[in-house]
Structure 1
């Protein structure tokens, strides 16, 4: 029996590109026509500046999420810094609609937290509303606590969750907690699309891992440079330091 994915991929329709240049000039979009997803968890992995966050952002907006993050019902904007990529991306949707969804990105977490507080102020029952965010304002929690609160309390069964570098706020132990929570949600029918540098998160079993370079290349956990570098460093940190400091 196949997996029922809410978002099965995105197609780049080049005839809808109105202004050539960034981000379409990034190597990732050379020969890029379509991204197909086949697993409940898809990782986009690449170096800084490779375009993985840009692609995740475009996918999220094309799927109906607010550019600065949140649920599909969130509508706030502090600064329109998102790229026009979403205008040329057509989502390939599955047969079923998600019951829930959230777009979480590290760089706009502060703005997201402020918007959540705005909603709480107009809620007839703020205490009940905040229960989905760890019982209190996200601003009253550390950056890492706030991210984890969303995973543990706001994310629900049968949802579509698009995350951009969620490990930025999380310690290794909290990344393990996130991994366990992600598995619970996958088991209950959720789908994750994640741009990440974290070998801990990338270790999720039976996930699609796409290396972002010139286009997208399917790869495996053991083949990832992130994983090889981390293993080599932890196996012999002094040797690696000697090489780096010479």
Structure 2
């Protein structure tokens, strides 16, 4: 059953934005007034530079998350690099709110681990790292630390925004992540994920938005360029590689 607190849609208000400057010059923004979500799992896919991570970041910041990632109560700032898009969107959701939440940015996850260590050195209160499995994220491999987040920190009844979570995960871990996502969805959780992983994208019943230089469109798993490119490659990888290298 879909939680009544689920994010339903995102409205865009260009206001006084300079439409010729980034991020308002991105194709998906120009002709988009509202983007419907309303799904337990939503994916943003597309080539580099089409704006999927930019929109994901804006949704996270507009929802109260720290731009560099973490849960709502994190407030560290290594380098302010997020776009002003969050000021021009409005999120609409039900009255009931999720009890848990997290914004994962793959490129700043190291900074998150450092902030946890800093906070845990301060006197008083329980150790934050205990909710991540108890072992320093810096004392694990990149993939192990990501998996500790999914396995231990995500508690259910949560709103989870993930930017390229597959970046540190093996194929086996990506398949395990599908299982973990299903467990969390069954506890009224919602995911919005930007990804380049055809494995994660196969989550059944997911809403998929594909970003391109033409804008944004909803499509099925098999209709995505990501699926088609991987499918073409694995039909005859030797031929594809030969064609690429002999150009």
TM range (shorter): over 0.9
Structure 2 equivalent of residue 205 of structure 1: 204
Q: State the match for 1:142 in structure 2.
A: 141
Secondary structure of 1:82 counterpart:
coil
In 1, Cα distance between equivalents of 2:5 and 2:219: 21
| TM-score normalised to structure 1 length | 0.94
Q: Contact 2:18–2:24 (CA<8 Å) still a contact in 1?
A: no
Greater mean deviation of Cα atoms: 219-228 or 196-205: 219-228
Hey, what's the Cα distance between the residues in 2 that align with 1:194 and 1:135?
A: 26
What is the CA-CA distance between 1:38 and the residue it aligns to? Answer: 2.3
What residue number does 1:67 align with?
67
- How many residues of Structure 1 are paired with residues of Structure 2 in the alignment? 245
Q: Is the 8 A contact 1:40 1:190 kept in 2?
A: yes
**2:101 alignment partner in structure 1:** 101
Distance in 1 (CA, whole Å) between partners of 2:33 and 2:19 is: 17
Deviations 1:157-193 (A, max 9, x none): 1000000011111111111111110110001100000
Q: Is the 8 A contact 1:6 1:95 kept in 2?
A: no
Separation in 2, partners of 1:61, 1:20: 23
Q: CA deviation at 1:131?
A: 2.5
After superposition, the C-alpha distances for 1:12-70 in whole angstroms (9 at most, x for unaligned) are 11125368511000112120111111210000001001110000000100010000000
- Structure 2 gaps, min length 5: none
Task: Provide the TM-score with structure 2 as the length reference.
Answer: 0.94
* RMSD, aligned α-carbons: 1.6
1:169 aligns with 2:168: yes
Question: Cα gap change, 1:16/1:72 in structure 2, threshold over 3 Å: closer, same or farther?
Answer: farther
Against the structure 1 CA distance between its residues 225 and 19, is the aligned structure 2 distance closer, same or farther, given a 3 Å change threshold?
Answer: closer
Cα separation, partners in 2 of 1:27 and 1:78, compared to 1, 3 Å: same
Distance 1:47-1:123 versus aligned 2 partners, 3 A rule: farther
Asked if the contact 2:46–2:225 (Cα under 8 Å) also holds between the matched residues in 1, the reply is: no
Unaligned runs of 5+ in 1: none
Q: Which has the larger helix fraction?
A: 1
Listed one character per residue, the Cα deviations across residues 75-122 of structure 1 (whole Å, up to 9, x for unaligned) are 000111100101111111222111000000111111111111122222
Counterparts of 2:19 and 2:245, CA distance in 1: 44
User: Equivalents in 2 of 1:2, 1:132: separation in Å?
Assistant: 26
